[in-house]
Amino acid sequence: MLSILLNGPVEVCCHFFIAEQLELDISPKEITGAIEHDEVLSFVENLAEALELSADITPENSEHTPFLTYVPQSRTWRMHDEPGSS
82 pLDDT more than 80: no
> Where does the pLDDT of residue 83 fall: very low under 50, low under 70, confident under 90, or very high at 90 and above?
low
The CB density around residue 74, as the number of other CB atoms within 10 Å, is: 9
Phi–psi pair at 63, nearest 5 degrees: -65, -20
Residues whose CB falls within 8 Å of the CB of residue 69, separated by 6 or more in sequence, listed in order: 54, 55, 56, 57, 77, 78, 80
pLDDT (0 to 100) of residue 7: 84
72 pLDDT more than 80: yes
- In the DSSP assignment, the letter for residue 13 is E
Tens of pLDDT, residue by residue over 6-60, are 987 899 999 999 888 889 999 999 999 999 999 999 999 999 999 999 999 999 9
Residue 75 zone, left/alpha/beta (φ > 0; ψ -120 to 50; rest): left
